[in-house]
Structure 1
Amino acid sequence: MKTTNHLQDKVVFITGASSGLGEQIAYEAALKGATVVVAARSLDKLKVVKENCEKISGKKAYLFSLDIADPEEIEATFNEIIETVGPIDVLINNAGFGHFESVLTTDMSIAEDMFRVNVLGLMYTSQLAAIHMADRKTGHIINIASMAGKMATPKSTIYSASKFAVIGYTNALRLELKPLSIQVSTVNLGPVKTSFFDKADKNGDYLEKVDKLVLDPKEVAYKVVKMIGSSKRELNLPKSMEIASRFYTLFPTAGDYLATTLFDKK
């Protein structure tokens, strides 16, 4: 594969990179010449991703075992990356999980775990990255949120709440870091064809039901990496769901109807 100089020698740190979208973002960053740093809990899968990144870029890549729900582990990992690799130029917060179930039967321990991973873990990594980027007056933080954070649907109460939180946090972070020349962007996605749904969808048929809306992780990764270094505040995919979310905001009553009919496939 031929690389470009879009991210030549930039350190790109990706969480949740052992599979799915995170893995594809790692490959796309490597293709653009980045020094790729991947982190997740599964070291065996990460080793494969690291090796593939090195084949693509022709340069050393790095891996770190990381439980994004553990603040002390996050801080230790950041310190080690900066000491062994160098300053982080780009942080892509991709780690997260979902769970689709009626609020009446959901075990609230799932809600606590989800907020530790989807929200608090993201906040810890964003803060640490921002602190180091502020010293150099440069950098880009990209937080992977969800269209569920713009338009909630039944059986995604906890997940939607976590992604609403991510969007709100990222919007405020963007404003706060702008004077420091640090870019902050949100990626709001509909369903992506990854192993995410192995855990989120207990019935196992959600992707089939929303087949026309399902995104290809490679195509999404290309668009995410293309954002790096730009002032683009949001990437919303697919376009049909972006339009629906705008309609939902402008016409909430009708939006509720759409959310419980057209987009309620869980």
Structure 2
Amino acid sequence: MNSRIKGKTIVITGASGGIGEQMAIKVAENGGDLALIARRVHLLEALKEKLIKEFNSKVEVYPLNVTDYDQIPHVFHTILQDFGSIHALINNAGYGIFQEAHETSFQDVKGMMDVNVLGLMACTGEALPYMRKQGSGHIINIASQAGKFATPKSSAYSASKHAVLGYTNSVRMEAKRYGVKVTAVNPGPIATNFFSIADESGTYVKNVQKFMLDPAYVAEKVVNALFTNKREINLPRWMNMGSRIYQLFPSFVEKVGNNLFFKK
């Protein structure tokens, strides 16, 4: 059991499935208390029942769409009333749609920005003042390798994750003065239902299936980093190396990899 996590209150958005659900399980395994946020309350309730039964954890659920910005202050106020403190916030809620820029509707662009960026900022804006006041805390933002290395058919999604990384890097420097840690997580494709929306055709999943990350593996890496000074978590390592090469030699990578990038 991880002594850093035991007895701490961890808030997770997008906790009803995928890596959000797996992170909740890992936190419970290590004795942490959980405030679970998502839209699908029936899945949250089922997860709560499982965690209480298996780990005897303190778990509360909070139905919320993170684009309901007016409701976010109320939810975080309720969490503080229920738990007395917030030690960590994992901003995991997000989704993507893989289409060429001219095919992506403005409604879909706005939807990704609203959830991936503004919802994350709004939740952080509620948790951070409390953490600053208590002189400790940890904010973990789930970004993406797409935020470091944009490819065709993901223009809006990549833009949203670029924004998350820019915001995270700035907040990290601001929060450090108050004892609050901030970490960005940049995974490649993960084997979750994310792609039921992002890749309706199934083409991308078919092309990259053998490279997909196990959500339990990603969750373990994130939870193990709680309350450490980890700046970034980049998964898998070889994909992050591609991002680094792209930053150094963008024209070369775009020229050589152009056909490969269109396999979404």
Q: Give TM class, smaller chain.
A: over 0.9
| Distance apart, 1:224 and its partner CA | 0.2
Q: How far apart, CA to CA, are the structure 1 residues paired with 2:12 and 2:205?
A: 25
The aligned runs of 1:194-205 (5 Å cut-off) are 194-205=192-203
From 129, 132, 140, the equivalent of 2:130 is 132
Q: How far apart, CA to CA, are the structure 2 residues paired with 1:203 and 1:130?
A: 40
Partner of 2:147: 149
CA contact (8 A) 2:138 2:227 kept: yes
CA contact (8 A) 1:193 1:214 kept: yes
Helix, strand or coil for the counterpart of 1:69?
Answer: coil
- 2:76 counterpart letter in structure 1: F
From 212, 215, 236, the equivalent of 1:214 is 212
From 166, 171, 174, the equivalent of 2:172 is 174
Q: How far apart, CA to CA, are the structure 2 residues paired with 1:78 and 1:176?
A: 21
Partner of 1:42: 40
Measured against aligned partners, the alpha-carbon deviations of 1:31-51 in whole angstroms (never above 9, x if no partner) come to 111001111000011111111
| Distance apart, 1:205 and its partner CA | 3.1
CA contact (8 A) 2:203 2:263 kept: no
Helix, strand or coil for the counterpart of 2:65?
Answer: coil
Q: How far apart, CA to CA, are the structure 2 residues paired with 1:119 and 1:107?
A: 18
Q: How far apart, CA to CA, are the structure 1 residues paired with 2:103 and 2:3?
A: 50
Q: How far apart, CA to CA, are the structure 1 residues paired with 2:7 and 2:38?
A: 22
- 1:217 counterpart letter in structure 2: P
Unpaired runs of at least 5, structure 1: none
Q: How far apart, CA to CA, are the structure 1 residues paired with 2:48 and 2:206?
A: 31
| Distance apart, 1:106 and its partner CA | 1.2
| Distance apart, 1:4 and its partner CA | 4.2
CA contact (8 A) 2:141 2:183 kept: yes
CA contact (8 A) 1:99 1:159 kept: yes
Q: How far apart, CA to CA, are the structure 2 residues paired with 1:27 and 1:130?
A: 24
Partner of 2:246: 248
Between the aligned residues of both structures, percent identity stands at 44
| Distance apart, 1:199 and its partner CA | 0.6
Which range moved further: 146-155 or 105-114? 105-114
| Distance apart, 1:245 and its partner CA | 0.1
Helix, strand or coil for the counterpart of 1:262?
Answer: helix
Give the root-mean-square deviation of aligned CA atoms: 1.2
Partner of 1:183: 181
| Distance apart, 1:226 and its partner CA | 0.5
Helix, strand or coil for the counterpart of 1:101?
Answer: coil
Partner of 1:56: 54
Unpaired runs of at least 5, structure 2: none
Measured against aligned partners, the alpha-carbon deviations of 1:124-183 in whole angstroms (never above 9, x if no partner) come to 111111101011000000000000000001110000000000000000000000010100
From 227, 230, 238, the equivalent of 1:229 is 227
Distance change >3 Å, CA 257–CA 57, structure 1 → 2: farther
Q: How far apart, CA to CA, are the structure 2 residues paired with 1:67 and 1:107?
A: 21
TM-score scaled to structure 1, two decimals?
0.96
Helix, strand or coil for the counterpart of 1:13?
Answer: strand
Partner of 2:5: 7
From 99, 106, 109, the equivalent of 1:108 is 106
Helix, strand or coil for the counterpart of 1:155?
Answer: coil
TM-score scaled to structure 2, two decimals?
0.97
Q: How far apart, CA to CA, are the structure 2 residues paired with 1:149 and 1:222?
A: 22
Aligned residues: 264
- 1:207 counterpart letter in structure 2: V
| Distance apart, 1:259 and its partner CA | 4.8
Partner of 1:16: 14
Q: How far apart, CA to CA, are the structure 1 residues paired with 2:23 and 2:251?
A: 37
